[in-house]
Amino acid sequence: MVEQLANENRPSVQKSNFLLVCGVLSLCGICTVIAFGMIAGALQYEKQVYAANITVTALAIATQQAEATATAGVHATEQAQYELIDRFDLYQGDWRKGMEYTWDNEYWEGYITIKDGTYIWNIESTQKTFVSWSDAPHTAEAEDFDVYVDTQLPEQPIGQMCSGIVFRKSEQTNDSSAYYYFRVCNDAIARISIRVDGEWEGIKAISIPNYSKEWNRLEVGARGAYFTFTVNGVQIFEMNDYRLEAGDVGLVIEVKDLIPALILFDNFGYQPR
């Protein structure tokens, strides 16, 4: 009797087992769907976050670029309003010009001229290492000022040459000149020096990351003993130095090897402050 009842109840047990298995499988399916949904949602969220970060970064970069462009535009506008601007497009200004011979200066032979909108120093032969300059017109006894110039050192034979700005230049009692000297050289190094009491002193040498084999713009700002130095729109150095209080401003070249050299200037600007 017991056995018979067990046999009679067997289909019900099988049916229950079947329903249980189906329930488990259904539950697993639902869990799988939910799991895939959660994964997809997480991936979508990460994608949205990543896209948002990219957007924020792009906006920040764009803002920085816009601010830099605006600053450069303001700076360019300010320079366009300087008191003295010489683009060397006319044969004007009391700049040094003419032929140079070693029987006159013992250092080099060649010529200095203004042609096709460029102030040209053509050193055909060099007898000694030298520094030479031309005082800029209307800048005598300058104290506080801003000055800039574009300069180029075309590809030439191996050897070091430099060009730049000389300022607060004055004659001393021992018949030698005293001056500060900011120049860029063809080894992509900017150098700042002072000559005083007949002695040279190197103040700073700075590698120029944005050096161009074409034109480089050099700028000097002077306010009392405080000076700033800029190349191609980027300030590379500042200093305090009390030794020279006033003097002429000019353009300067330096040839450090016995080689011919061609050095060009353009777009000189000067503003007293």
Q: Which two tokens stand for residue 242?
A: 């009390």
Length of the chain counted residue by residue? 273
**Residue 149 contacts residue 270 (beta carbons within 8 Å):** no
User: What average pLDDT score do residues 40-61 get?
Assistant: 57
User: What average pLDDT score do residues 110-136 get?
Assistant: 95
Residue 4: what pLDDT? 41
Residue 72: what pLDDT? 61
pLDDT higher at 41 or 6: 41
Residue 159: what pLDDT? 87
Residue 184: what pLDDT? 97
**pLDDT beyond 80 at 250:** yes
Identify the burial level of 107 via C-beta atoms within 10 angstroms of its C-beta, where 0-12 means exposed, 13-18 middle and 19 or more buried. Answer: middle
pLDDT higher at 120 or 8: 120
Determine the Cα–Cα distance for residues 160 and 123; give it in Å rounded to an integer.
Answer: 13
Q: Which two tokens stand for residue 261?
A: 């050299």
- Weakest-pLDDT range from 35-39, 106-110, 156-160: 35-39
**pLDDT beyond 80 at 158:** no
Determine the Cα–Cα distance for residues 166 and 191; give it in Å rounded to an integer.
Answer: 12
- Weakest-pLDDT range from 44-48, 71-75, 102-106: 44-48
Residue 24: what pLDDT? 47
- Weakest-pLDDT range from 45-49, 91-95, 126-130: 45-49
Determine the Cα–Cα distance for residues 240 and 216; give it in Å rounded to an integer.
Answer: 25
Residue 113: what pLDDT? 95
Bridge partners, residue 206, by sequence: 190
Q: What are the angstrom distances between the C-alpha of 265 and each of 21, 115, 163, 268?
A: 91, 11, 9, 8
The rounded mean pLDDT for the chain is 82
Looking at the chain, the whole-number percentage of residues with pLDDT higher than 70 is: 70
Backbone φ and ψ of 19, nearest 5°: -65, -35
Whole-structure pTM over 0.75, yes or no?
Answer: no
Instruction: Report which secondary-structure segment, H or E, holds 2.
Output: helix 2-80
Determine the Cα–Cα distance for residues 75 and 235; give it in Å rounded to an integer.
Answer: 13
**Residue 189 contacts residue 206 (beta carbons within 8 Å):** yes
User: What average pLDDT score do residues 172-198 get?
Assistant: 91
**pLDDT beyond 50 at 2:** no
Backbone φ and ψ of 214, nearest 5°: -95, -115
**pLDDT beyond 60 at 10:** no
Q: Which two tokens stand for residue 82?
A: 């300087």
Query: Quick one: DSSP state of residue 136?
Result: P
- Weakest-pLDDT range from 200-204, 207-211, 258-262: 258-262
Distance of CA 36 to the CA centre of its chain: 52
**pLDDT beyond 90 at 29:** no
Residue 234: what pLDDT? 97
**pLDDT beyond 90 at 181:** yes
Residue 163: what pLDDT? 98
Residue 149: what pLDDT? 98
Task: Identify which of 78, 17, 82, 7 has the alpha carbon closest to the alpha carbon of residue 272.
Answer: 82
Determine the Cα–Cα distance for residues 35 and 40; give it in Å rounded to an integer.
Answer: 8
3 state SS of 224: coil
